[in-house]
Structure 1
Amino acid sequence: MAVSDRYKEAWESYWRETPEEPGAAVWDCDASLSVKPHLALFEPFVDGSKPVVDLGCGSGTTTRFLAERFARVVGVDISHAAVEHARRADASGTAEFRQLNAAEPGEVGALHGELGDADVYLRAVIHQSEPAARPAIAEAVAALAGRGGRAFVVEPLAVAKSVIADTARGAGGPPPKIARVFAHGLTPAETEDEAVPELLRATGLSVLASGRIDLVMTEYRADGSRIDLPAQWLVVGR
């Protein structure tokens, strides 16, 4: 299914209105707290020779970290504003950034045709996608990985929705960074736990490893504690 115009504009408006300083987006934490521990789980399954695609790169924090460790890293995002944000943040040009709609097989196929089989990093994208488009996102992971690539997928668990909801119950409502997500019509933590591995298996990918981990956020509760989201991680491939 094609992504709706409402969904595309929601992400465009979100990234247009999000300040460019590090950590302005609620999920844009320092890479040492997110992708670094993820790589410790992923690297045993990859040889480092393939290009890496950061699928749903946002402002490019993760992409830049990956580009310090792999020869070629391409960050892609549905939002033009996000891609431009990422390019401006990457003054040294360590990574490549492109606008790409992962729910469009033609666009995904063209990127695979250019790169060949790639290793894929997907952090918290499926849960934010429109339900009807989620199978296409899983297909994009499979298409980019091809026969020889591997993918690291990390997505919030269903209980994360309760964690987010709890932050809105105080007298002041949700903290500003979470409030901005809601204000743009984005709906985090909207997948069931088994839906993620099932979507990936339906593409012909196998789950090679999995586990539980926290997704580190950049927002805090009124008591000063950081709002991290319980999540699952999977390494998948053929």
Structure 2
Amino acid sequence: MELDVNYMIDTFFLALGGISVTLQITIVALLVATPVAFFMAISKIYKVSIIKQIVSGYVSLIRGTPMILQILIIYSLVPSLINMIVKGLGWDFNVFDVNPIIYAYIVFSINTSAGLSEVFRSALLTVNVGQLEAAHAIGMSTVQAYRRIVIPQALVVALPNICNLTINLIKGTSLVFMMTVKDITAIAKIQAAFGYNYIESYIDIFLIYIIICSITQLLFALVEKHFGSYKSLKNA
């Protein structure tokens, strides 16, 4: 089998146009999930009775089900149910006119919040509780203690896991083509359909995701180095 190199080059640059969509979904998911995940982590650490049970069930459910299934439910089943309710109430609103990227935001925000909550919880638990007690002793409130003492230290510990989660999130966005969102994968697959050049398109997709994930790892490595240096200076 001979690869069509010219097709690969053309499709590679066309597929690069989908990077903005991939990064947009990734950034929105992280921004939405971060405060939610932090709240869930705190509720589990402090064992807030009912909330802790709800959070534990939520995390188990999301982490225990395939993302494809979550996409099918939120993109296909939920809109159909909402449409039935809307029509039943006599409202003039077509749920299916909603931009499909909104569903992508919802799916990946839900998924990310579950994983990120465990990252935050494990990182926060590495900070000695004595530091929080010492902060209270000098007159700091719990919020001030967390903002100035606990969170900066926990962030250093959490960064490698946040990096892994972000990379998995970026790779996971390749499934948004199932929601008719024109990302990297969707653009390459559409191009492949014209001449059945699927092998070449898949190679292009592979290369683009390798590049994006490598750059992401490099950026996180620089951030870790910065915070690591800061931590060393503080401990010196």
* Category of TM-score, reference length = shorter chain: under 0.3
Q: Could you state the TM-score of these two structures normalised by the residue count of structure 1?
A: 0.24
Which protein is richer in helix relative to its size? 2
Structure (1 or 2) with the larger CA radius of gyration: 2
Q: Identify the structure with bigger relative contact order (alpha carbons < 8 Å, sequence gap 6+).
A: 2
TM-score normalised to structure 2 length? 0.24
Higher strand share: 1
